[in-house]
Chain A
Amino acid sequence: MTNEYIQQILSDKFGAAVWGFEETFGIFSFNIKPEINTAVLQFLNDEASLSFQFLTDLTAVHYPDRKDEELCVVYHLHNLVANKRIRVRASVPVAQPDIATMTNLFSSANWMERETYDFFGVNFTGHPNLVRILNADEMNYFPMRKEYPMEDPTRTDKDDEMFGR
């Protein structure tokens, strides 16, 4: 199973809704439209020549500068038999971060989606129990978003102009 084969079969099936194929540090990655995440992951799972049936990791990344696709949900999938890993990214706007849950396909997605909701506020529609998992229940913001800095922004004694983000 080569990268070209995966790219070909996905492009044939989903057309322009799948794009940005690249290999970064040994993992073949691509972007998909968030509306078709269930269809793509189901297809990757069912298609005998692909069989990406193991969900290694599910998380999100917040890119505040990307207009209307600020929150990027990242799936790491693994075909254990062929020992091939891929990364699937689906970006949603931070104003309305809705994406379908993958819990029907992977039981492991349950807590990983809860964690992603907890820290980024991604709304996994259809999730059986989308509540906070690591943070306190009464928290009313999503702490891993970039607008929440680590340090108190009102402090003046720690000037990071020279060193630091």
Chain B
Amino acid sequence: MVPLSAYVAVSAILFLTGLLGVLIRRNFIIVLMAVEIMLNAANINLVAFSYYMESMAGQLVALFIIAIAAGEAAVGLAIIIVVFRGKISTNVDEMNLLKW
């Protein structure tokens, strides 16, 4: 029997990996992929708690998270295409149109 804290630890490590990726990578697409890693870590957490607390609510929220990840990917990639059309770059350091 795998203890719940093992699942939560895996989820925490994955979430921090994703957070680190968002902070240190410069390519916008990789930043979005790191966000997907973080959403997956949250999903592991929700499903593990759903199993150990014997409740279905966690699995349903995980389904909604997958749907939201799909929407986020679609809109984020559309933004990347728009930015790339103008500047030929996906570097997040050079996207400062909304700054100030």
* B is bound to A: no
Interface set of A (CB-CB < 8 Å, partner B): none
